[in-house]
Every structure is written in C-alpha cells, then in structure tokens.
Structure 1
Amino acid sequence: MVYDYEWFKTAVYNLTKIDLSAYKEKQMKRRIDTLIAKNNVVGYDKYITFIKENGAKFEEFVNYLTINVSEFYRNLDQWKVLENEIIPELISKFGKNLKIWSAACSTGDEPYSLVMALSRHIPLEQIKIYATDLDKQVIAKAKVGLYSDKSIVNVPEDLKRKFFTKIGPSYQISEEVKKRVEFSNHNLLKDSYRDGWHMIVCRNVLIYFTEEAKDEVFVNFQKALANKGILFIGSTEQIINYKDIGYARKNSFFYEKA
C-alpha cells in the first residue's frame, strides 16, 4: 500500500471526520508535514498510529489542523458597522430576542465580542449566542474564558472595564457574559445546520477552504438564515457569486439573505 497524502486524508477522515480535501492542499499539507517532523515521526502511516495511541498528540493534531487564530473585536472598523448599523437594523426587523450563530468560533473571542456589542442595545439577560467549532479543545478554552492582553486590545475601554477582570498577566471574561453563550461541537462541512438565524457570523475561517467547499458553506448559511437575515464574514473573505447564491450585499463584509 502507498501511504501518501491521499491515503492520509482518508485515514484522517476515518479518525476525526475532518475532510482535508476541503482545504487548500499545498497549504494544509505543508502545515501537517511540519507537525509530523516536529514530533520526530517518519511517514503518514506511522503518524496515524502515533496519534491513535497518544490522546494528547491526537488533540494537538486536531487543534493544529483547525488553525485557531482569534481575537476580540478583530478588524475593529467592521465591528463598529455591526454595532452602529447592523444590530439596530436586526432589532427593527426581528425584535430584541435575536437568534445569532457564531460559526467556527475558535477560543470564544468572537461570540463574547458579540455579547458585548449587543449589550449596548439589548439587556444582557436577553442575549443568547449559539457558538460552535470543530475543535473540542478550543471550545474547552472558550468556556474557561481567560485571555491575554493582546487578545483583548481592541475591546472598547468601557466594555473592558465592565466585563474583564485582570488575573496575573491574563484577563478573565465575566460570568455574566459567559452565561450568554452556548458552546457546542460542529463540523461546517459534515453536520446539518439549524435554520431561522437572524445573523450568522463566520469570519476568517473559509479562506483555508477550497472554492467548492466555500460555496457549499455559503449556500448552507443562506439556507439557514431567516429571510432578511445577515451573514457577517471576515476581512480576508468575499462571496464572488453572492447574487447566484441568494444574497444581497450590504457592504464588503455583510450580506443579507435576499
């Protein structure tokens, strides 16, 4: 048997249900080869055996694979548009009990940012964010809610004072914010999508996907949104064929279900 990258993709899918074919191959293969070399393992077959037999290394592999780069209020100008224009518009259309999904939420920076942004318009106890990620390890970290000063540098000062407590060199998000977020595990390329969302936020994740996989996710988001619901994407992303999929473009990063 040839234990090449094609074989490895199948083995990874059988083990994790993560479909590496949906990721840009050159970029992902380079990342994986680097990790395998770092662990002093030679060969894809040996590495699969290695992570099967070592729980910590299996978690390390999944964490590495899912490329978790996150921070609060990432790309601040876009969050200002969200806070000043999009949220008031959503409230006028759907009321204050908004149904919002933070997809591929990583370590929680994004859903917690959403809670804080919404808190300027809606009483905290009325806010509920549904947050999902493929990686159980980052969800566990999100639930702890401990962040570096670099992670929270863009948080507005009033919200930083209100919702964070300094603990040593780190900052702890308040329990009242944490209680507004429900975390769970979800694979954007494999699992079914709930529907009726007033807003879906998925930012700086799909850049790693193939064009076909991106289209599949954008179509699924469109179907999952309520009529006139909003999709908020990242600054490195765009939906070229948004009209064909069924979106109207509000600006560079916000798309409305047409």
Structure 2
Amino acid sequence: MVNDYEQFIEKIKVKTGIDLSLYKEQQMKRRLTSLYEKHGFKSFLDFYRGIEKDNELLYAFLDRMTINVSEFYRNGKRWEVLEKKFIPELLKNKRNLKIWSAACSTGEEPYTIAMILSKFLPLSEIKILATDIDENVLQKAKIGAYHERSLNEVPIEMKRKYFQKDNDYYVISDEIKRTVTFKKHNLLSDPFEINFDLIVCRNVLIYFTEEAKNSLYNKFSNALRQGGIFFVGSTEQIFNPGKYNLEPIDTFFYQRI
C-alpha cells in the first residue's frame, strides 16, 4: 500500500517539479513533520491539501526542504563594484552580454545580476544562463519565492519594484524571472559553453579538492571571451591566476587575458 508520505511526494512532484524522493527519507520526513504540525496539520496528505489552498504554506514548504542558505546581493560591496565598475566597461563594447551564473542554487544570484543590469538595459534585452547540479533547487528558483531573510541586502528601490510581498515571503516579478534560463549542469563533468562576457561562480569552489579547482579554473577561463570577467566568492581568491590566463582586476574579480 502506498503510504501517506509517498503520496505526498507524488503530488508535490506534479505541483512543483520537485522530487523529494531524492532526499534522505528520514531526515526530510522529520523536517516536514515538524513544519506541518506547527501549522496544525495531522498528516502529509492533510498538509498537501493545505498547500493546494494557501501559497504561504507552499513557500514555507519550499523554504524547509532546501538546506541552502543563499541571499540576494550577498557581500553587497562586491556587487557594487560589479555595478559601478565592470558592467559599464562590458557594455561599452556590446549591449547583449553573455552571462552565466554557475552553481546558482535557488536563484538569488542570477536574479541579483538581472536587477543590477536593469539599471542599464531594458529587461527584454537581458539574458542570463543559470545552472546547478540539483534539479530541486532549480525548480525552487523558477518559482521565485523567498523568505524575508534572503532579502536583507536588497536595495529598497529594487525590493519595491521587483518583489511582491506575500505574508513572510517575497515573490520575484515575472519580468525578472523571464531574464533567466535555468538548466541542470554538472561543473565537473558537463561541457562549458564559450564566449561569456561575465561568469559568476561564488562560494562553491571551496567545496572542491585542489585538483578539481585547478581543472575548473581552466574550464572557466576557456569559457570566457578575451577581456571577459570572472567573479568569485569571498573565500575563493585565486592564488596563481596567470596560470589560467586570468589577471586580478579587483578583489575577487579576474579578467581573461
């Protein structure tokens, strides 16, 4: 007989594209049981019926099932450097920039890039590729609903312009969503596209071995056009950038030479 949790998994997959069977069952059940009990439900199916009726419950579920804690405009000063110094430089030569947010998790990073670019270009001209190995986080990114804590660094005017508040959650506007194409991609084994003007890959490479990092720096460098920019996380300084045909142009920014 199909149990309560298995039915819940099936229904959630149809509704959101998220496959809970890919997570450790005991751990996920524990996490979700405490969530539904907190909201006064008695079973997974009861909880699902609640989700059907109330977006707030759907967002709470999405929040609970992803462990990744990500934020918009994380390390805000670095995004300021991108906006003030490098985007104008890149746009001097061409309007249709080719941009990749690699290992984008639940979407905060590519959506941040889109908001920054919206100060320079109409949204209809912005195209960003965003990839991650985890299909579930990509589905969550496409839904685009975020807990208030993820928006701590978002400038007030961007918050007003591009987010709709729904109780404790903020839903990003469709016009920003349309600028981003999400795809599943494994950094270690899948081929990279080429001729990018900007590649953003932050707070991911710290999880790889030195050998894997070495290979990835080469692959990222080859994926950039000459003069293209590589923006890394605040714990990921490249100690020998010349080895990868990169040169430092600001803290955590490198340029293909």
Please, what TM-score do these two structures have when normalized by structure 2? 0.75
- Per-residue CA deviations over 1:6-28 (Å, capped at 9, x if unaligned) read xxxxxxxxxxxxxxxxxxxxxxx
Question: 1:159 and 1:139 mapped to 2: Cα distance?
Answer: 23
Structure 1 counterpart of 2:20, from 56, 68, 76 = 56
Find the aligned partners of 2:98 and 2:239 in 1 and give their Cα distance.
26
Q: 1:233–1:60: structure 2 CA closer, same or farther, 3 Å change rule?
A: farther
1:244 match? 243
Instruction: Specify the alignment match of 2:169 in structure 1.
Output: 170
Partner of 2:130: 131
Question: Who is 2:180 aligned against?
Answer: 181
Where do 5+ consecutive residues of structure 2 fail to align? 1-18, 29-65
- What is the alpha-carbon distance in structure 2 between the residues aligned to residue 229 and residue 67 of structure 1? 32
Deviation at 1:244, TM superposition (A): 1.1
Cα distance change on mapping 1:192 and 1:155 into 2, 3 Å: same
Instruction: Tell me if 1:222 matches 2:221.
Output: yes
Residue-pair matches, total: 200
Residue 53 of structure 2 is aligned to residue 89 of structure 1: no
Change (3 A) 1:214 1:69: farther
Q: What amino acid does structure 1 have at the position aligned with 2:256?
A: K
Q: CA, structure 1 residues 60+121, in 2 after alignment: closer, same or farther (shift >3 Å)?
A: farther
1:213-245 alpha-carbon deviations (Å, 9 max, x no partner): 111111100000011000000111111110111
Give the Å deviation of 1:175. 0.3
> Cα distance, 1:68 vs. partner?
2.8
| CA distance in structure 2 between the aligned counterparts of 1:56 and 1:121, rounded to whole angstroms | 39
Whether 1:209 aligns to 2:208 is: yes
Aligned positions of 1:33-182 closer than 5 A:
56-60=20-24, 68-93=68-93, 95-182=94-181
CA shift for structure 1 position 58: 2.3
Q: Which amino acid aligns with 2:111?
A: Y
Provide the secondary structure at the position in 1 that maps to 2:82: helix
Query: Structure 1 172/67 Cα, relative in aligned 2: closer, same or farther at 3 Å?
Result: closer
State the identity as a percent. Answer: 51
Cα–Cα, structure 1 residues 217 and 108, in superposed 2: closer, same or farther, change >3 Å? same
1:174-230 C-alpha deviation (Å, 9 max, x unpaired): 000000000000000000000010000000000011111111111100000011000
Contact 1:59/1:137 (<8 A) preserved: no
For the residues of structure 1 that align with 2:172 and 2:21, how far apart are their CA atoms? Answer: 29
Question: Residue 254 of structure 1: CA displacement?
Answer: 0.6
Q: Take 2:201 and 2:245, find their aligned partners in 1: how far apart are those partners?
A: 17
Distance 2:68 2:132 in 1: 10
Q: Name the SS for the 1:121 alignment partner.
A: coil
| Backbone CA RMSD of aligned residues | 1.6
Distance of 2:24 and 2:85 partners within structure 1: 40
Determine the C-alpha separation between the residues in 2 that align with 1:114 and 1:77.
14
The C-alpha deviation readout for 1:71-113, integer Å capped at 9, x for no partner, is: 10000000000110010011013x1100000000000000000
**Contact 1:145 1:173 (8 Å CA) reproduced:** yes
- Alpha-carbon distance, 1:69 to partner: 3.1
| C-alpha displacement of 1:56 | 3.0
Give the direction of change, closer, same or farther, for the CA distance of 1:57–1:97 in structure 2 (3 Å limit): same
* Whole-angstrom distance in 2 between the partners of 1:80 and 1:251: 12
Give the 3 Å change call, closer, same or farther, for CA 67–250 of structure 1 in structure 2: farther
Identify the residue that residue 12 of structure 2 maps to in structure 1: none
* Structure 1 consecutive aligned stretches of length 4 or more whose deviation exceeds 4 Å: none
For 1:148 and 1:111, locate their aligned partners in 2 and report how far apart those are by CA, in whole Å: 17
Q: Which amino acid aligns with 2:75?
A: N
